[in-house]
Amino acid sequence: MSSVLSMVEKKLAALPVSVQMQLPDGGKIGDANARLRMKVNDRATLVNFATGQAGNLGEDYVEGRFEVEGSMRDLMNVAAAILNESPIDAARGNWFTGLARHLVSIYRHSTARDARQIQFHYDLSDEFYSLWLDPRRVYSCAYYRTPDMTLAQAQEAKLDHICRKLRLNSGERFIDIGAGWGGLLLWAAENYGVDATGITLSKNQHAHVNRLIDEKGLRGRVRMELLDYRHLDESVPYDKIASVGMFEHVGRAQLEGYFSKLRRLLKPGGLIMNHAITAGGVYNAEVGAGMGQFIEKYIFPGGELTHISNELAKAAIAGLEDVDVENLRPHYARTLWAWSDSLESQLDAARATLKPGLQGDKSLRAYRIYLAGCALGFEQGWIALHQVLFQHKATGRQDELDNPADLTFPWRRDYIYK
């Protein structure tokens, strides 16, 4: 144990944030005037600290093996500093490890298992999410069109950014796959006049959005269904498709099937917006140093990331052409810090929205670590957020750059940003 303690003391001395640590035996090490204070209740936590297992430390916090006084931003700076190696330096592996990962991905994403996994996360508590999300409950990366935007303004800017990229027009059939609490679905219907369908596997979200549809008098032109995307009817294709924050739940083994399904749901020449978290490393399906396992256990069971290069390859195999790619990584770091700061400012209220007792306290602790940890991950480039606009492969027209009236996608970006 003395060697572990020596490693801990060396790491404490090198941190960018002053930390005092109270050990399980009551002794204290570190700076007496520290900005961040940790009370360690379990010796295993010291081992995780010494070896840079940030994800295991997150689990230690959720399970009450240590307490912390200070800001989550300081705690995340400590987490980044104790890592022994980059959490995205995953090895390519061989054919056997690749096959094993593929089979695990297939197993994890049956329709029944996906429904349970989505409900585990999104049906935690609508009141809890409403405390720290914007009023529309848009639970995805915002778009800070100007630096002084509030979170609510940036989320509306994101919704409009997507609608502009999709070139939504009145009367078009539009579907939002994984529609959440209905932010994009209702924005598109109210501001662009589309006939809009949303699907979700969350019972809470399904009920919430259907209430909003009735309150806004949109019944008949807007609908929200409790449905897996794999069961969508392909007989009447859509003009435009959006998938925002859903791609991460699909599974790497299902990506070709996912994009093939979307292509079959789309009219020839139609557009798809795929807005998704992507891996920072080419080969890793999750962030290393135990962080991916933490998210799998406490936040998003069944979630799998892939690098943008793999996303583009799988879409191309399915017959889709990428016509616009934008990385919003810095925007998601700012979004997550806004969520984290909002949650941190009302911890007692948040605790009251969750199941009383140990389970609710664990959920709150998990989300404190999750939001701040993901903000750190986007800041560091361990994960990214890509918006990719796809359409059916080009028709081979010779006059596309002349932008004729019947061309779905103009080959200049002016229409998005003007």
* CA separation for the pair 352, 120 (Å, rounded): 19
Q: Of the listed 38, 312, 374, 389, which one is catalytic?
A: 374
Q: What residues pair up with 276 in beta bridges, in sequence order?
A: 386
Question: What are the b/e assignments for 99-111, b being 16+ CB within 10 Å?
Answer: eebeeebeebbee
Q: Which of 339, 307, 343 is nearest to 325 (CA)?
A: 307
Q: If we measure between CA atoms, which residue out of 353, 340, 328, 219 comes closest to residue 278?
A: 328
SS3 content of the chain, % helix, strand, coil (to 5): 50, 15, 35
The tokens of 262 are what?
């979307």
- Report d(CA 171, CA 187) in Å as an integer: 14
Compute the distance between CA of residue 306 and CA of residue 279 in angstroms, rounded to an integer.
5
CA distances from 245 to 110, 140, 387 (A): 19, 6, 10
Q: What angle do CA 292, 296, 297 make, to 5 degrees?
A: 120
Q: Is 163 tagged catalytic?
A: no
CB within 8 Å of 398: residues ≥ 6 apart: none
Burial group, residue 63, by CB count within 10 angstroms (0-12, 13-18, 19+): middle
Please check whether residue 118 is in contact with residue 201, taking contact to mean a CB–CB distance below 8 angstroms: yes
Where are the strands (E) in 111-211, listed by range?
173-177, 195-200
CA atoms within 13 A on the CB side of 200: 26
Tell me the angle at which helices 183-192 and 203-215 cross, rounded to the nearest 10 degrees: 20
User: Could you tell me the CA-to-CA distances from 298 to 46, 122, 291, 312 in Å, in that order?
Assistant: 22, 12, 11, 29
CB 164 within 8 A of CB 413: no
| Pair 387, 325: CB distance under 8 Å | yes
Asked if 195 contacts 171 with a C-beta cutoff of 8 angstroms, the reply is: yes
Question: Residues with catalytic annotation?
Answer: 374
